[in-house]
Amino acid sequence: MTPNRVGVGPGGLESGFMSVKFRVQSAFNFSSDSYAIVFNTSGSGQTPWPQTFSNNFAGYSMSIVVGGVGGSIQAQAYFYYRPNTTAQIPVLYPIGATPQQLIFQPNTNGQGTEFTIIFDRVLSLFSATTSPTPSPSASASATPSASPSTSPSPSPTSSGVTVSNLWNFNFFVLQGQQTGYQPQGTIIDSLGAGGPNDNTYASQQLDVSTSFDTGAFYVQTGNHPSIPDGLAGGDIANNP
């Protein structure tokens, strides 16, 4: 597949946008699974790992989750709100992205094994305006639940959020469906060699102040589940 051309116009990206191609081995299973791209935008260099409760979601800044029920597949962006008490797990807040800020393109390789997300990086500046109470969970998940009834829909803002030009990332397959504002599921695969149990994977570091296309990258060979929607890899492009 030809990677996105970074630039303005057909086949490229507008200034301030990033595209992410997400690929699986054989076929997506939207009937029971969902798919998450998690970014660390803090500049700490930490890759978001699937074993979240061993490091209290270190490196989790924002995520884009693709899933749905009844054939209605959608993408939703989320912000990880961290209370002042670091012992508490972060709370997941939906980001009120407009259709122009978050674009989901299904089956972008024509083989049923790839979708593409194009998003405005201003979404990474989102900051919740209230402080919800987190609800600890017994199982690790890329996307802890947050009720929409407690989630305001403010415009993205840089208030209270540190966003670096250096981003890290990971891809996850979640066993569970996204239902409206509440993504659910346990991580069953990641880009690292250990799949759902990998706390060693180090992603490429993305400098979003520059134009780039990573080209195709691939899941590390190792202990991955034998499922059709096991991860294959992806591609990330950016226009500053």
Mean pLDDT of 95-106: 94
How would you write the chain as a 3-class SS string? Answer: CCCCCCCCCCCCCCCCEEEEEEEECCCCCCCCEEEEEEEECCCCCCCCCCCHHHCCCCCCCEEEEEEEECCEEEEEEEEEECCCCCCCCCEEEECCCCCCCEEEECCCCCCCCEEEEEEEHHHHHCCCCCCCCCCCCCCCCCCCCCCHHHCCCCCCCCCCCCCCCEEEEEEEEEECCEECCEECCEEEEECCCCHHHCCCCCCCCEECCCCEECCCEECCCCCCCCCCCCEEEEEEEEEC
Instruction: Quickly state the pLDDT bin for 83 (edges 50, 70, 90).
Output: confident
| pLDDT exceeds 70 at position 175 | yes
pLDDT tens per residue across span 32-65: 899 999 999 999 999 999 998 888 889 999 999 9
pLDDT higher than threshold 70 for residue 233: yes
- Confidence band (pLDDT; 50, 70, 90) for 131? very low
For residue 144, pLDDT over 70 is answered with: no
Confidence of residue 28 (pLDDT cuts 50, 70, 90): very high
**pTM given for the model:** 0.83
